[in-house]
Amino acid sequence: MVNKGAKPGSATRRPTVEALEVLLQEPIKVLDHGFIRVVDYMGDDKAIVDAARVSYGRGTKTASEDRALIHYLMRHHHTTPFEMAEIKFHIKLPIFVARQWIRHRTASVNEYSARYSILDKEFYLPTEDQLASQSDENRQGRGKTLSSTESAQVLGILRQDAERNYEHYEWMLNADSKDGNRAGIARELARINLTLNTYTQWYWKIDLHNLLHFLRLRVDRHAQSEIRQYARQMLTVVQAWVPQTYEAFVEHRLEAINLSRTATSVVRRMIKGEQVTQSNSGLSKREWLDLLAGLAIAPEDDR
C-alpha cells in the first residue's frame, strides 16, 4: 500500500488510514493562534481487533464482526487492545491550557524550551462570548457572560499586560539591543515574566485508550472552554483514524451516563411509576441534578 505521507515512489507495508493520511502534517486551527497537527500514527481499527483475537491464533473476520467486537471491548472496558494503536500530535497552545493538559500523565511529551529558545510574541485573547463572571455553583467554572463594556475592559487589560510583559522579556534578553551595552539575563530567567496566555508548543504521543480517556474528560461541558476546543478537534481526528472505535466510544462512553448504585435504584423507582424527589432519592443535590441532566429531565422544585 502506498503511504501518501512518504516520498513519491516509496511504499510501506504497515497499515495506513486514507482519511488520516489526508490530515497528516496539516495544522488544524484552534483558538486564535493555536493548532493541532498529526505528525505520525500507528495502527487502525483492524489492529485493535487483531490484538483482541490474538489468543485465537487467527486473523480478523468480517467487517461487521470487527465492529461488534470493538463495541464489546468498549462496553466491557477491555482496554488493552486499544493500547495497540498510537498517535503523535504537534500542538500549539497557551501555557495555562498546557498546565491543565499535563495533568494527563499517560502520554510522552516534549515541550518547546524557553531555556534554549525565545518564545514568539503570540498570546491568547478570548472572544467576548468567552468572558464571564465566576460561577456561583461551580468554583472552577464560569457564570454569566460579561457586558460588552466589561468585556472590552478585560480584553484591554489582557492585551496590555501580555504586550508589556513581552516587551520586558525582550529587553531582559537584550534582543533589541543594537550597541551591545546590555548583557541581557539568561533565557531561563527572562521567561518567568511572561503571562500564562503566551503560546507554547509540544509533541504529544499517546496510545488510543488513554487518548479516549483524555477526550472523554476534556470534551465534557464541565471542562474549561479553551481545552475543550482542542479536544473537539482531536475527536474529529479520532473519527477519521479509527471510525469503528469512534462510533463505539460515542455510544458507550461519550454519550453514555454512569450511574451509582443509588442512582440506579432511583431510575428503577421512576420506571415503576414512583414519584421520586431529591429529598427522598438518597442523592445529594448535585448528584440529583447530574442524574436529571443525564436523563434529559428538566429539574423542578424538589422533583
Is 213 annotated among the ligand-binding residues?
A: yes
111 marked as binding residue? yes
d(Cα 190, Cα 114) in Å, to the nearest integer? 9
Q: Is 301 annotated as a binding residue?
A: no
Query: Which of 188, 229, 253, 233 has the alpha carbon at shortest distance from 100?
Result: 229
Q: Please indicate if the annotation marks 113 as binding a ligand.
A: yes
207 marked ligand binding residue: yes
Residue type at position 290:
D
Return the sign of the alpha-carbon dihedral for residues 11, 16, 21, 24. negative
Instruction: Report whether 208 belongs to an annotated binding site.
Output: yes
Q: Does the active-site annotation cover 187?
A: no
Beta bridge mates, 35: 29, 92
102 marked among binding-site residues: yes
The reply, when asked if residue 218 is annotated as ligand binding, is: yes
Task: Compute the distance between CA of residue 212 and CA of residue 234 in angstroms, rounded to an integer.
Answer: 10
Pick the catalytic residue from 218, 232, 261, 268: 218
288 is in an annotated binding site: no
Residues 6+ apart with CB under 8 A from 216: 249, 253, 254
Tell whether 101 is in a known binding site: yes
Report the alpha-carbon distance of residue 170 to residue 159 in Å, rounded: 17
The Cα 68–Cα 220 span in angstroms is 26
* Binding residue numbers for FAD: 80, 103-105, 111, 207-209, 213
* Binding residue numbers: 80, 100-105, 111-115, 191, 207-209, 213, 218
Q: Catalytic residue numbers?
A: 218
* Binding residue numbers for dUMP: 100-103, 111-115, 191, 218
